[in-house]
Structure 1
Amino acid sequence: MQTSSYDPTTGRAPSMTSGEERSVASLAHLSAIIAMIVSAGWLSFIGPLVVWFLYKDRSAFVRNAAAGSFNFNIWAWVMNVVAWILAFTVVLLPVAVILWVVAGVMTLWCHIRGAIVAQHGQAYRYPASIGLLH
């Protein structure tokens, strides 16, 4: 695999980004959706975390994609936990439903968008995240 450096100032991978890097970066974004389906929504952060562990030293572009996906999924996971707590109060059930819908739609939209952008060799910046991985 050809290794390339990632330029965080431009938000783009270098023009010589290999097809493998773009594919694995796309997988980093889509792995969250796959993990979400397999785990009924609770372990969506596992897919990006696995990609990050496997590729963090091989490609800065892939590392950035996987870290962004993981950090966004932690944010969505926290939203879901808050929504479940609100749902148990019964009175705040409508707020919980809104949080579930927002988290679900944003998760699907952002990860699909991130995969498309990664296929073009560009970095995708998630609109919300909790920065644990870099």
Structure 2
Amino acid sequence: MSTPPYGPPPQQPPAGPPPGQPPHGGPPPGQPPYGAPPPGQPPYGYGPQPLSSADERTWALVAHLGPPVLALLTLGLLGFLTPLLIWLFLRDRSAYVGDQAKESLNFQITLLIGYVIGWITVLMLVGFVILFAVWVASIVFAILAAVAVNRHEPYRYPINIRFLS
């Protein structure tokens, strides 16, 4: 058995960098800590910034005019994607854009029902008439909606099933 030595324990250097030097991996003296936002910017963790009036108008126009173009390119089946994406990503930044995208999305889902009925009945030749009528309705109402949102007014489609309220 050994006995502990007498006297004070041996001196060990203090943990950390020498005085006056930055800690290991830290910023140089006088600089803000890493992860801090640049001067003049809001601190991290704040919500999304609201859209300007011009941006609101632009995104509302895209929500109403994008679907007929996409529907034309995809035979009527994917026109709902434009307002869906705008509603999902911008509804927190602008109540107006969220409302208009939701209104357009409801209308596009209503039109999708018409397109599906048209494609099912296309073998009876009446389907072509239904498809054409649904597409023309989408163009006419999209133009009416675009005129309204360009004046920054809310637009409600007259023929619309409101799946999202």
**1:98 aligned to 129, 135, 141, which one?**
129
Query: Is 1:47 paired with 2:75?
Result: no
Distance in 1 between the 2:84 and 2:72 partners? 16
- Residue type matched to 1:131 in 2? R
2:112 equivalent in structure 1: 77
1:26 equivalent in structure 2: 61
Give structure 2 stretches of 5+ with no counterpart. 1-48
Query: Is 1:65 paired with 2:100?
Result: yes
Equivalenced residue count is 117
Query: How far has the Cα of 1:123 moved from its partner?
Result: 0.8
Q: Secondary structure at the match of 2:112?
A: helix
Query: How far has the Cα of 1:98 moved from its partner?
Result: 2.8
Give me the TM-score of the superposition, normalised by structure 1.
0.78
Distance in 1 between the 2:122 and 2:72 partners? 22
**2:153 aligned to 110, 122, 127, which one?**
122
Query: Is 1:86 paired with 2:86?
Result: no
- Residue type matched to 1:67 in 2? K
Q: Is the 8 A contact 1:2 1:18 kept in 2?
A: no
Identity of matched residues, %: 31
Give structure 1 stretches of 5+ with no counterpart. 4-16
Mean CA deviation greater in 20-29 or 43-52:
20-29
Query: How far has the Cα of 1:2 moved from its partner?
Result: 4.5
Distance in 1 between the 2:94 and 2:143 partners? 21
Distance in 2 between the 1:81 and 1:2 partners? 37
> Over residues 75-108 of structure 1, what are the superposed CA-to-partner deviations in whole Å (9 max), with x where a residue is unaligned?
11101111222223x2xx23x2332122011101
- Residue type matched to 1:111 in 2? A
RMSD of aligned Cα (Å): 1.8
In proportion to residue count, which structure has more helix?
A: 1
Query: How far has the Cα of 1:51 moved from its partner?
Result: 0.6
Distance in 2 between the 1:76 and 1:82 partners? 10
Distance in 2 between the 1:22 and 1:87 partners? 38
Q: Secondary structure at the match of 2:77?
A: coil
Give me the TM-score of the superposition, normalised by structure 2.
0.64
- Please list every run of at least 4 consecutive aligned residues from structure 1 whose deviation after the TM superposition is greater than 3 angstroms: none
